[in-house]
Structure 1
Amino acid sequence: MTDDSKKYTIPCPEVVLCVEFSPYEASCQLLAVSTSTRVTVFSCRFEEEDADVDGIEYTQIRDFQTENQTSTIAWNPETSLSVLPKFLSFATAELDVKDHHLRLFTSNLKEDESVLRGTRHTAIL
């Protein structure tokens, strides 16, 4: 059995803890990459989807600072960069030494950006 899958690399200066492509049609080109200090959102295009692309093309959209180590990322289905106003939103589950935290990040990719912090709890997420 041969492995015909392609592998692409986006350089990252820090250790990557979690990655998540948006599963929704309006934002399926978005990739969130978490490290110990941030979640970086990229817009990606692949050669399988666009004949003008050789391998992968990516653009860094935005960095969102995190307070703790991110273990999970979930995209908001309303996220879209193709309509105005642009809307980017995702949630993270973060871990510190003894508690779990939920964060909801939103941005219009201009001046408006917010982070909604959920209450901490000790149950497993």
Structure 2
Amino acid sequence: MKQDSTRNIAYTVDCEDYVHVVKFNPFESGDACSLIAYGGNNYVVVGLCRFQEEDAEVEGMQYKTLKTFHHGIRVDAIAWSPETRLDASSPQLRFCTAASDRKLRLFTSDLQDKNEFKTFDGHSDYINDLVFAPKEGQEVASVSDDHTCRNKRHEDRREKTCVSSSLDCTDPLYSFCHQMSQV
């Protein structure tokens, strides 16, 4: 990890290919480091970052790649599940991606032998954003240029299309978030 003052960027990570999306895990994962995922043309890399602003023993930033996942298509969006844990006796990574094929992919890994992914269909146009329900992590919502917000439960693959009078679904939907006070 190095500091890069030539472009007004505080820190950089050397990557082998283009990076299209970067997402820090917003949930407590049980580790003092920050979990980060970045996606490129055919892959997602998950790593740990430790910053000098959070740890006086670190100079600049320390970065360690935990796992690289084959994706098969360009990654356009990433959302972390609150079920991701690193402090447990059996660690678990869980995140979801969106791609230009209009599909969501749910990845689950124990960083050892278990590396699974499920694919969810449903959108008929480009997926702009996705987010997990912040408490349980069993549901992921995605919004699309097809003017829909779709909610998927990853346990049983049931899909519910969200219909809400507060959403103007006559236009594409670009972003979505869960409000903690409403969960």
Calculate the TM-score normalised by the size of structure 2. 0.61
Task: Give per-residue Cα distances to partners, 1:37-82, cap 9 Å, x unaligned.
Answer: 1000011100011111000001100000012111100000010111
Q: Distance in 2 between matches of 1:53 and 1:35?
A: 28
Shift in Å at residue 6 of structure 1? 6.4
Bigger Rg over Cα = 2
Shift in Å at residue 123 of structure 1? 2.9
Counterpart secondary structure, 2:98? strand
Match of 2:15 among 8, 12, 16: 12
1:24-35 alignment, distance < 5 Å = 24-26=27-29, 29-35=34-40
Q: Distance in 2 between matches of 1:26 and 1:110?
A: 17
Q: Which runs of 5+ in 2 are unaligned?
A: 1-7, 128-183
Q: Which residue of 2 aligns with 1:122?
A: 124
> Identity, % of aligned pairs?
37
Structure 2 CA distance for partners of 1:118 and 1:8, relative to 1, 3 Å: same
Q: Which runs of 5+ in 1 are unaligned?
A: none
Q: Distance in 2 between matches of 1:108 and 1:13?
A: 24
Moved over 2 A (4+): none
1:54-69 alignment, distance < 5 Å = 54-69=59-74
Q: Which residue of 2 aligns with 1:38?
A: 43
Q: Distance in 1 between matches of 2:125 and 2:16?
A: 32
Shift in Å at residue 121 of structure 1? 3.3
Task: Give per-residue Cα distances to partners, 1:65-105, cap 9 Å, x unaligned.
Answer: 0121111000000101111210100000011xxx3110000
Q: Distance in 1 between matches of 2:63 and 2:13?
A: 8
Q: How many residues align?
A: 118
